[in-house]
Structure 1
Amino acid sequence: MRITAVTCVKNEGPFLLEWIAFNRLIGVTDFLFYSNDCSDGTDHLLDALADRGLVRHLPNPAQGRNYQMEALKDARRQDIVAEADWVWIADVDEFLNINTGDHTIPALITACGEPQAISATFQFFANNGVEAFADTPVISQFTRSHNPDLWCGEFAIEVKTLVRRDFPLQYFGAHRPFFKGNLAADRRPRWTDGSGRDVPHRFLVAANPRRIRRFPAQGARNFATLNHYALRSLDSYLVKNDRGDVNRENRAFDDTYWRERNDSGHTDTSIHRYLPALETALAELRRDPEIDALHRDCVARHIARRDTLLKRPEYRDMRDQLRNANALPPQEEALISSLGLAS
């Protein structure tokens, strides 16, 4: 089975090898990376990996600001995507944690009944007081998240989607694929959640544009959940804030984004089942002297950028604000206040 992962990156160098090694463990066979405006060596490391046939690396084709959607439009034309049996579109801070069979994507597909699409629900992992960047697997460092069925007062949570080759595709979205609105009902794809249940009808047909990326999370994770390490360490979050993201150039994340994703009420270490094999796979990648050197350079630049940012008073203030931020998500804080329960 050929499974292609497609992702967009900007200054993700320290995290590339872990994400590639992890996805290879769960069954990804091919990688298509689009990069833009990298200053931490991400592009150099990807080029070296591409030279060895481990990934394909292309410059992001976007001419404006919509980096991810332009890349996905281009990806559809690439043979590495067109010839794949399945396509997995995800970011480098997202890890598909599979709870069935041998914990691989083929096992997930079997458990879900061989559908044409599978949407896995996000589970946002908190920073939980980790300040310093460490060059160790992200999945080993962060073990606390929100209640998996409830995030910021919402029962519906966003998803990312595996797409089979015969899906009646109109276009790829970052979170889900789309088919034409006038597609006959008997030609609509079989599409499940991470428990093998059919996705809700309104999600399937994108009936409500405000909810086309999410559906109720309760009961949706029996076979897989999507661990999202959006914050990582405080050091890395400051660098991420400086970088912006692949969707909108120079986007600044305020403390609302941080607080919404820093709910540490639930402990989940189930992804650690992959750690022994992941550490072996990482060591194998880094036995190549050039790959190891380029990875170390990315790490050094990441740390140097943090140091540069902390010379600026606005970033010192941001660091202090995040250190002292209310541990409750804004929505929960507002609810408690409205009920008159605030101390």
Structure 2
Amino acid sequence: MRVTAITCVKNEGPFLLEWIAFNRLIGVTDFLIYSNDCDDGTDTLLDALGAYGVVHLPNPAKGRNYQMEALKDAARQEVVRAADWVWVADVDEFLNIHVADHTIPALIAACGDPQAISLSFQFFANGGVERFEDRPVIGQFGRTHNPDLWCAESAIEVKTLVRKDFPLHYFGAHRPFFRDKLERGQRPRWTDGAGRAVPHKFLVAANPRRIRKFPAAGARDHATLNHYALRSLDSYLVKNDRGDVNREGRVFDDAYWKERNDGGWEDLSIRRHLPALEALLAEMKAGPLGDLHRTCVERHRARLDALLSQPSYAAMRDHLRALPPLPPGEAEMMAELGIEA
């Protein structure tokens, strides 16, 4: 089975090898990676990863919506057209498969071989980790929110595996879309991460507020999408400075941090992959890739030092460190009830 992962990156060098190695372990065979405006060595590292199935292209975007323009281009690329399945995800997202041998083929089989599988996000908290460390992200962060609730939301965003015969109109960052006029009998068979048919309004994108998400309760039996959106406080500051590969000028403020820093639950299940992941990373870093990776790490740390020399970033660091590890609204509710945080 040929599975192609598509992603867009900007200054993700320190985290690339882990993400590529992890995805290869779960069954991804090829990668189409678009980069834009990198100055940490990400683009150079990507150019050296051909032996691991990576096709690296500059982002073709001429407007501001980098990711959507890249996805439009991706649909024409041979590495995507030749794939049996396509997986659109970001470098901080890891597909945690719970069934059989924990691979994508096992997930597809468990879901009944549909034409699309949408997996619900699980946001992993910072967990009080301040310093960036050059070791697997999946081994550093294990605290997360109630799987069925995120802040005040029971409907949680998804990312989607897409089979080659899906009646594709275009790829979205979270889900594919088919044409509005598609007859009912031609609509794709589409499941959640428990093998259940996705809700009708999600299927046909009938509700603008729900085209990227549906209720997470019961949707994770076979797989979860672990999203390490914060990582360490150090790396979050660099991410804030970098901006967003999706939209120019987007700022990650403290609301983004607070919404994703709910550590009320623990989930360490993805660490089943750590021994094999660390072995593959050691193999990858043994040659020239290791030097390129270390360059990215050094530049990541140097950028952090430069940011912390600015009063605004030093203040941001202190502000984020002082925030209670509670989702928005919970601290206020506890204060109202006279409960100490």
Q: Classify the TM-score, shorter chain.
A: over 0.9
SS at match of 2:330: helix
SS at match of 1:330: coil
2:65 maps to: 66
Alpha-carbon displacement from aligned partner over 1:205-248 (angstroms, at most 9, x marks no partner): 00111111100001000000000000000000000000001111
* 1:247-262 superposed matches below 5 A: 247-262=246-261
SS at match of 2:49: helix
Alpha-carbon displacement from aligned partner over 1:285-304 (angstroms, at most 9, x marks no partner): 1122x111000000000000
2:282 maps to: 283
Off by >2 Å, runs of 4+ in structure 1? 331-337, 339-343
1:320 maps to: 318
1:17 maps to: 17
Q: Offset at 1:40?
A: 0.4
2:307 maps to: 309
Q: 2:331 & 2:182 partners in 1: Cα distance?
A: 44
How high is the sequence identity, in percent, across the aligned residues?
A: 72
Report the TM-score, using the length of structure 1 for normalisation: 0.97
1:136 maps to: 135
Q: 1:81 & 1:270 partners in 2: Cα distance?
A: 30
Q: Offset at 1:326?
A: 2.5
Give the counterpart letter for 1:163 in structure 2.
Answer: V
Pair 1:225-2:238 in alignment = no
2:48 maps to: 48
Alpha-carbon displacement from aligned partner over 1:37-94 (angstroms, at most 9, x marks no partner): 00100000001113x3630000000012100000000000001001100000000000
Q: 2:5 & 2:110 partners in 1: Cα distance?
A: 20
Q: 2:87 & 2:332 partners in 1: Cα distance?
A: 37
Range with greater deviation from structure 2 (324-333 or 18-27): 324-333
Q: 2:161 & 2:333 partners in 1: Cα distance?
A: 36
Q: What is the aligned residue count? A: 340
Give the counterpart letter for 1:187 in structure 2.
Answer: Q
* 1:1-343 superposed matches below 5 A: 1-50=1-50, 52=51, 54-288=53-287, 290-333=288-331, 335=333
| Alignment RMSD (CA, Å) | 1.2
Range with greater deviation from structure 2 (249-258 or 152-161): 249-258
Asked whether the 8 Å contact 1:239–1:306 carries over to 2, the reply is: yes
SS at match of 1:119: strand
SS at match of 2:56: strand
Asked whether the 8 Å contact 1:5–1:90 carries over to 2, the reply is: yes
Give the counterpart letter for 1:15 in structure 2.
Answer: F
Q: Offset at 1:332?
A: 2.9
Q: Offset at 1:333?
A: 3.8
Q: 1:331 & 1:163 partners in 2: Cα distance?
A: 36
Asked whether the 8 Å contact 2:259–2:327 carries over to 1, the reply is: yes
Give the counterpart letter for 2:187 in structure 1.
Answer: R
Q: 2:171 & 2:227 partners in 1: Cα distance?
A: 20
Q: 1:341 & 1:216 partners in 2: Cα distance?
A: 32
Give the counterpart letter for 1:111 in structure 2.
Answer: A
Cα pair distance change 1:184/1:194, threshold 3 Å: same
Q: Offset at 1:252?
A: 1.3
SS at match of 1:218: coil
Give the counterpart letter for 1:124 in structure 2.
Answer: F
Q: Offset at 1:167?
A: 0.3
Alpha-carbon displacement from aligned partner over 1:301-325 (angstroms, at most 9, x marks no partner): 0000000000000000100010011
SS at match of 2:209: helix
Range with greater deviation from structure 2 (207-216 or 234-243): 207-216
Q: 2:98 & 2:52 partners in 1: Cα distance?
A: 30
